[in-house]
A and B are shown apart, each in its own frame.
Chain A
């Protein structure tokens, strides 16, 4: 710990409890940060690409997650180091913004840090490095725009969208039936998309999973599934042309918010109260019946009596439906959520063509399907799979695919995958470097080298010779001036990513480069780390 001393040799205490804190400064701090960042990137490096491996993560409670998704790995890793936390944030923001490429962005940032370390050793000031990176990232992003292609798709021609989703899914464990899942994802996104505004609300797509069956049994349901069953075992299991009353009030006697007490002191009062109570139940059910509802979905529970009355009046009901699901049902069926029985009107009822209960396997698991809704804009993807971890991983993969499809609808530009975009950018940045006078030139060149690390990792994970493969592809790109040569991960026999139909979204790639650069800049600017030491 560096201490300042005054003229009498007594130490100045600047920080509170200074002697209990560790402090790293200057180049030491930068190097420590860089090595932490690199360590995180190294963990993810092997998960990149179609031949990337998975990680097992065991949570503090002993639950096991097996995943290939960068954001999930980092989130569950429970890191302690500050810089590592920054990397986790980085991956998360890529996840929020784009939904895919969460591994790539971290690998990229790791590579940039590695290059920066070398520059720092040569005595280049971190800020200059950061500025160089900034310039280089601008060149790269522009170049991406330049090599990107637009493609057309419509509600009938979904092939390009499916292809792009397949690229995303091919790195996951579900790649066995990627075609099937990609089609499901695209159809789901298209059915909720607002093509004119180019907007997709992913909240309208519900992803549900249930263990059992095969992955191939995964299906897209134009409607909603609810993991609930009818409140009374003898209610009808199938309702056609249902009119649904969506309630957020319990089938119970009202509980006024103001504190009150009802005192019973005579027999008459006791009896009136009893009659009153019976009337309450009767009224509630009658009101639902009067407006013409044929199904009641309620957020709260029912009293036994109410339950029987409902059953008695032939009014099927579902209780304890969660708030989010309730909203989705309301959207899908075009109904309104009704908070009070008095406000029930026929217009507020939702409509669905078919509501049915379906049971699975040998246990008494039941689910409620609400299909053929008035507004088919809410859909459910229902995943089946061999075990719990498989379902969870499939959910994450589907989420990635959905995000990619959404991004394409927002902006239909694509770049080619397989590392081709990175290699092409690297060439462009390298060429651009010479135009800049000053020290930044070195940083820009370093950036170009860092870009190479993504295809390098791809080649490495696919069991190819990384340096040989990369240099061959690079020279091929320059020689033929064709930016779509990439790494042939699946051993198909051609380097042309266009023929292999490996696409990625333009905004995803741009975002990766920008986010990685930003985080690296932030890390480079730190020159003092003060942390409480272990005790």
Chain B
């Protein structure tokens, strides 16, 4: 008698070896996909969306690539997820984390083929990860005390991060921009305060950091184009028709003259509101919502600069920089805090007019204006800059710094190798495999740069045999170089996050011995 099926019709079930195989293959495929973007000589990918317009993105950012892929393989989904989390948490290392997890799985596959139980591999990996982490901890440099040195550390980190991106040509310029911007935040990780405005035109070099605040809006007609010693009221209120909010209210009139009267009353109401706003003694009014022509005209008459339809972020940032409250009622002008700034003026960037607030009270926020040849370029530049900003803001909080260029991987691999020699039992194979996976990262960096990876990594390993060596791969000259001299640094927090999440993800996938896929939900045909 046949065993009847337990599952629904289209559901599939994969067991044991097959399941493991499916997840290995999926994970390794994803790794191979993003592998070529790793390192300073990594290549970019073009992503074309399936949506309308087939929008094109050109990127080097691991998280962005993976986010845009439509994947069916569950193990691959796990990797995409860790990359996403890495992006949210530390902002950089999104490619490395996937590559490391993939390499760990690739090694695990060999071990499983050699009849080592996945659980043994996992426990070996865990020991290795712990050992690798402590190896890193021993080698971190912390320049918290020395402000000058710390700043140069930040600069190095920013340059290292940017060197793998499209901005690598002008990395010094951008690193300076990013460091300046982050230093202004004074330790907060709120990147919201750094506004990035993209304006096509010019070259990447023309990008600049503005200490004030730039709002991508136009000044209303007939209003002053330049105000000095501005008093700003930041508001979120309806300046179109201020409708009655009491439920069920409606206007019912029996003659045309009444309509006119009501309309008059409405106008009167608006006029009163505007009067109240003007009574704050302001000369600039910024509203989140629309300002209709009538109130705009009133403001113009009073010589007040009125800016409408600033978006949510804009308003919040503006309130932050100018130190004003966001107001919605205007009855007690004495208690509303107004924002201040020295000069408000209209400026031109490329062909667009923008409003520039300079001399703001609180120096926390700033604006970075990116210029570039095309939208794709700008988008990618923004992503790269975002990565750099994230890493820097995290480094400001956790000031521990490591060298880059494959140096941390070699350090870890050396320690892990030593651990493998000391550990009895089958686990030692897994620990050894972990070390091999770590070495894979410098290998890939070298490969991507078109260098002889086998030779370079061997040299590197030999160099690391000595204590306290700073050797890493110098991609530019194609040889082993001193990372401290070359000024290639990475943030400890990023490296640690890469190590831990990659191990966690590999562990998770290794533990699986069965994949059950439910029948896909039936889509109703809307034909």
* A61:B521 contact, CB within 8 angstroms: yes
- Which has the most chain B C-beta neighbours within 10 Å: A260, A263, A312, A362? A362
* A388:B518 contact, CB within 8 angstroms: no
Does A236 sit at the interface, judged by CB under 8 A? no
Q: Indicate with 1 or 0, residue by residue over B499-527, a CB within 8 angstroms of chain A CB atoms.
A: 01100110110011111111111000000
Q: Indicate with 1 or 0, residue by residue over A367-408, a CB within 8 angstroms of chain B CB atoms.
A: 000000000000000000111111000000000000000000
The interface residues of chain B lying within 8 Å CB-to-CB of A3 are none
* A386:B514 contact, CB within 8 angstroms: no
* B316:A233 contact, CB within 8 angstroms: yes
Known: A79-B7, A266-B258. A60 touches B236 (CB 8 A): no
Which of A265, A276, A311 lies in contact with B325, CB distance below 8 A?
A: A311
Interface residues in B70-110 (C-beta closer than 8 Å to A): 72, 74-75, 77-78, 81-82, 84-85, 87-91
- The chain A residue with its CB closest to the CB of B389 is A362
* B265:A270 contact, CB within 8 angstroms: yes
Which of B1, B117, B248 lies in contact with A28, CB distance below 8 A?
A: B1
Does B6 sit at the interface, judged by CB under 8 A? yes
Does B250 sit at the interface, judged by CB under 8 A? yes
* B89:A390 contact, CB within 8 angstroms: no
Question: A490 CB to closest chain B CB, in angstroms?
Answer: 10
Does A176 sit at the interface, judged by CB under 8 A? yes
Which of B245, B247, B252, B501 lies in contact with A303, CB distance below 8 A?
A: B245
- The chain B residue with its CB closest to the CB of A361 is B89
Cα A64 to Cα B75 with chains together (Å): 9
Q: A76-B516, A211-B89 are in contact. List 5 more A-B contacts (CB 8 A).
A: A60-B520, A255-B247, A266-B258, A312-B329, A390-B504
* B253:A46 contact, CB within 8 angstroms: no
Known: A270-B265, A362-B394. A386 touches B329 (CB 8 A): no
* A271:B265 contact, CB within 8 angstroms: yes
Which of B89, B91, B320, B519 lies in contact with A213, CB distance below 8 A?
A: B89
Interface residues in B233-250 (C-beta closer than 8 Å to A): 236-238, 244-250
Does A364 sit at the interface, judged by CB under 8 A? yes
Question: A173 CB to closest chain B CB, in angstroms?
Answer: 6
Question: B57 CB to closest chain A CB, in angstroms?
Answer: 20
User: Helix, strand, loop or mixed for chain B's interface?
Assistant: mixed
Does B486 sit at the interface, judged by CB under 8 A? no
Which of A39, A176, A233, A274 lies in contact with B6, CB distance below 8 A?
A: A39
| Interface residues in chain A, defined as those with a beta carbon under 8 Å from any beta carbon in chain B | 28, 31-32, 35-36, 39-40, 43, 46, 51, 53-62, 64, 66, 68, 73, 76-81, 84, 173, 176, 211-215, 232-234, 252-256, 259-267, 270-271, 273-274, 276-278, 280-281, 303-305, 307-309, 311-312, 359-365, 385-390, 463
Cα A332 to Cα B507 with chains together (Å): 38
* A51:B119 contact, CB within 8 angstroms: yes
* B515:A55 contact, CB within 8 angstroms: yes
* A80:B516 contact, CB within 8 angstroms: no
Which of A31, A46, A68, A361 lies in contact with B90, CB distance below 8 A?
A: A361
Question: B183 CB to closest chain A CB, in angstroms?
Answer: 17
The interface residues of chain A lying within 8 Å CB-to-CB of B9 are 80
Which of B1, B246, B331 lies in contact with A276, CB distance below 8 A?
A: B246
Known: A53-B118, A265-B252. A253 touches B261 (CB 8 A): no
Which of A252, A273, A388 lies in contact with B249, CB distance below 8 A?
A: A273
Known: A54-B511, A264-B251. A387 touches B82 (CB 8 A): yes
- The chain A residue with its CB closest to the CB of B191 is A362
Cα A260 to Cα B253 with chains together (Å): 17
The interface residues of chain B lying within 8 Å CB-to-CB of A61 are 521
Known: A57-B518, A253-B246. A387 touches B504 (CB 8 A): yes
The interface residues of chain A lying within 8 Å CB-to-CB of B75 are 56
| Interface residues in chain B, defined as those with a beta carbon under 8 Å from any beta carbon in chain A | 1, 3-9, 11, 13, 19, 23, 72, 74-75, 77-78, 81-82, 84-85, 87-91, 117-119, 126, 189-192, 236-238, 244-254, 258, 261-262, 264-266, 269, 316, 319-320, 325-329, 331-332, 335-336, 390, 393-394, 500-501, 504-505, 507-508, 511-521
Which of B77, B191, B237, B332 lies in contact with A305, CB distance below 8 A?
A: B237
* A234:B262 contact, CB within 8 angstroms: no
* B329:A261 contact, CB within 8 angstroms: no
* A264:B252 contact, CB within 8 angstroms: yes
Number of residue pairs A-B, CB distance < 8 angstroms: 242
Cα A64 to Cα B246 with chains together (Å): 47
* B515:A387 contact, CB within 8 angstroms: no
Which of A54, A58, A253 lies in contact with B508, CB distance below 8 A?
A: A54
* A256:B4 contact, CB within 8 angstroms: no
- A sample of 19 cross-chain residue pairs with beta-carbon separation below 8 angstroms, ordered by A number, consists of A55-B516, A56-B19, A77-B516, A77-B518, A78-B8, A262-B248, A266-B258, A270-B266, A304-B238, A305-B237, A309-B329, A361-B189, A362-B89, A386-B500, A387-B81, A387-B85, A387-B508, A388-B85, A463-B117
The interface residues of chain A lying within 8 Å CB-to-CB of B126 are 176
Question: B308 CB to closest chain A CB, in angstroms?
Answer: 15
Question: B135 CB to closest chain A CB, in angstroms?
Answer: 17
* A36:B258 contact, CB within 8 angstroms: no
* B319:A233 contact, CB within 8 angstroms: yes
* B236:A362 contact, CB within 8 angstroms: no
* A277:B248 contact, CB within 8 angstroms: no
Cα A269 to Cα B516 with chains together (Å): 67
* B237:A274 contact, CB within 8 angstroms: no
Question: B40 CB to closest chain A CB, in angstroms?
Answer: 23
Known: A270-B262, A277-B244. A62 touches B520 (CB 8 A): yes
Cα A119 to Cα B190 with chains together (Å): 69
The interface residues of chain A lying within 8 Å CB-to-CB of B517 are 57-58
Cα A362 to Cα B393 with chains together (Å): 8
* A265:B316 contact, CB within 8 angstroms: no
The 5 closest A-B pairs by CB, nearest first: A308-B328, A53-B513, A212-B89, A386-B501, A60-B521
Cα A215 to Cα B192 with chains together (Å): 27
Cα A20 to Cα B251 with chains together (Å): 64
